[in-house]
Structure 1
Amino acid sequence: MAEITGDQRVQSEVLEGLATAVNHRRWFIELAVPYLGDDPIEIGSGLGDYALEWSERLPRFTATEADPDRLVQLKERLADRPNIDVRQMLLPHNDRGDYSAAVSYNVLEHIEDHVGALESMRDLVRPGGAVIIIVPAFQFAMGPADIATGHVRRYTKKTLGAAMTDAGLTIEKMHYANALGLIGYFMATKVFRLMPKEGPMVKVYDTLVLPATKAAEQLVLPPFGQSVFAVARVPA
């Protein structure tokens, strides 16, 4: 089994900071909704921000976390949601499941054996169900913030597509998201060496820039972005 790497304290600071980026989170929540089905599992739920909002639209939802300390926090935060099951999960593993989908945002880039991790997600999902992934894009943007939070790689559509295909998944949709976010992330983390956590820059971007970026990308998909979004199916 491969645990997520990186400084857990720094990861938690970043998670807490990005939780304030409400418009960004809601955009990425909407991307997954059409593919979740009625009983999905999230791999790497962190502090539960996505799980809380997805669970409001679904009869059942399973949230998971690898880190034991963060798992305790996650269970406490989701304790009053009877339709959410919380469990510990590390990837890769040999478990089998019958979930309608597996969704995993900004987790795969932490795992050395990413094909094995995708195979594990595949095995948790019933035939015809979806594996929904968001990962950070473009290796040139790899910098101190990535390293501090345990990233071992960033992706392109080609490299993520190859990993998903090697894991026995059939790709249905894949595109870049948040083009202006990539430029901002590169400048902030590689040029100015800042961490992507709570602060005026995150709030200004999320309030003023993000809505315009989302609206533009709903009309025309960009040739690059801060993230790669992908949906693949488990073969029947």
Structure 2
Amino acid sequence: MAELTGDQRVQSEVLEGLATAVNHRRWFVELAIPHLGDDPIEIGSGMGNYAAEWAPHVSRFTATEAEPDRLVELKERFADTPNVEVKEMLLPTSETGSHSTLVSYNVLEHIEDHVAALRCMKGLVRPGGKIVLIVPAFMFAMSPVDYATGHVRRYTKKTMRAAMEEAGLQIEVLHYANALGLIGYYGATSIFKLTPKEGPMVKFYDSLVLPVTKAAESLVRPPFGQSVFVVARVPE
């Protein structure tokens, strides 16, 4: 494995930290399950943690990754999982497909021409299928961690709606998620200049704060959040 650059090291630390946030991951897994259909594709599967939880719910699952070392790890992880195909993919792509759904968590914010990326995503999904995304919310929360991990923007519901509509997609669900997480993330990364990684901070948030936030947001959609969750339909 090649030696990591500073930015790649931060990316790895954040991914590994998020991997230990089990309650956070399960919440976001649950958000997508009703929309997956029978043959979804994930763009930017990373370590494969979401793929591993979605795959049992579908007949076929395609996991993709652009970063070479993570792609190798992904193929090793799912080598003995017959309904999971792992392939290399980088947006923008000319590849097309007829998947039931495309799901992509925390990827679009890395792509400069996000409308072109959304059009590529649309090309991978059959007419009437869905695109399910989670992206980080609110530009005021852009921090050194965001820049180090390659983020070029954060979103609001308004900017996400605009990008989706420009790409020719029809929004079905659009809301903020994890309101308390936004406050914690802003405090940790912008005020205290910390990197969210494996350790007491992530463990405290995931075991104590996250369940309260999830329960509250199941009753009332918050006016802000750490993330924007969106489901859009590919026109028939």
TM-score tier after normalising by the smaller chain length: over 0.9
Indicate whether 1:30 and 2:30 are aligned: yes
Contact 2:65 2:87 in 1 (8 A): yes
Matched to 1:10, the amino acid is V
Residue in structure 2 matched with residue 203 of structure 1 by the alignment? 203
User: For 1:57 and 1:232, how far apart are their aligned partners in 2?
Assistant: 20
Give the CA deviation at 1:68. Answer: 1.1
Mapped pair 1:164 → 2:164 = yes
**Structure 1, unaligned runs of 5 or more:** 1-5
> Which residue identity does 1:225 align to in structure 2?
G
Which amino acid is 1:158 matched to? K
2:89 corresponds in structure 1 to 89
Aligned residue pairs, count: 231
Q: How far off is 1:114 after superposition?
A: 0.6
Correspondence for 1:193: 193
Distance 1:9 1:119 in 2: 31
Aligned to 2:3: none
Equivalence for 2:117: 117
- Paired residues of 2:164 and 2:170 also in contact (CA < 8 A): yes
RMSD between aligned alpha carbons?
A: 0.9
**Matched residue of 2:122: which SS?**
helix
- Cα distance in 1 for residues equivalent to 2:141 and 2:148: 14
Name the CA distance, whole Å, in 1 between partners of 2:93 and 2:167. 13
Greater alpha carbon shift after TM alignment, 8-17 vs 168-177: 8-17
SS at match of 1:128: strand
Q: What corresponds to 1:103 in structure 2?
A: 103
Please report how far the alpha carbon of residue 7 of structure 1 lies from its aligned counterpart in structure 2 after TM superposition. Answer: 2.3
Contact 2:174–2:230 (Cα < 8 Å) also in 1: yes
Equivalent runs, 1:145-156 vs 2, <5 Å:
145-156=145-156
- In the other structure, the counterpart of 1:19 is 19
Q: Does 1:64 align with 2:60?
A: no
Q: Which residue of the partner structure matches residue 41 of structure 2? A: 41
Name structure 2 gaps, 5 residues minimum.
Answer: 1-5
Corresponding residue for 2:74?
A: 74
Instruction: Confirm or deny: 8 A CA contact 2:10 2:145 kept in the other structure.
Output: no
How many Å separate the matches in 2 of 1:110 and 1:98?
25
Residue pairs, 1:131-150, within 5 angstroms: 131-150=131-150
Partner of 2:226: 226
C-alpha distance in structure 2 between counterparts of 1:92 and 1:64, whole Å: 13
Letter in 1 for 2:10: V
Deviation at 1:8, TM superposition (A): 2.3
> SS of the counterpart of 1:224?
coil
2:178 aligned partner: 178
> What displacement does 1:9 show?
2.5
Does residue 212 of structure 1 match 2:212?
A: yes
SS in 2 for 1:44: coil
d(CA) in 2 for partners of 1:124, 1:24: 28
Question: What is the distance in 2 between the residues matched to 1:99 and 1:153?
Answer: 28
Matched residue of 1:220: which SS?
Answer: coil
Summarize deviations over 1:207-233 as a string: whole Å, max 9, x none: 011001000000000000000000000
Measure the CA separation in 1 of the matches of 2:221 and 2:228: 11
Distance across 2 between alignment mates of 1:66 and 1:12: 14
What percentage of aligned pairs have identical amino acids? 74
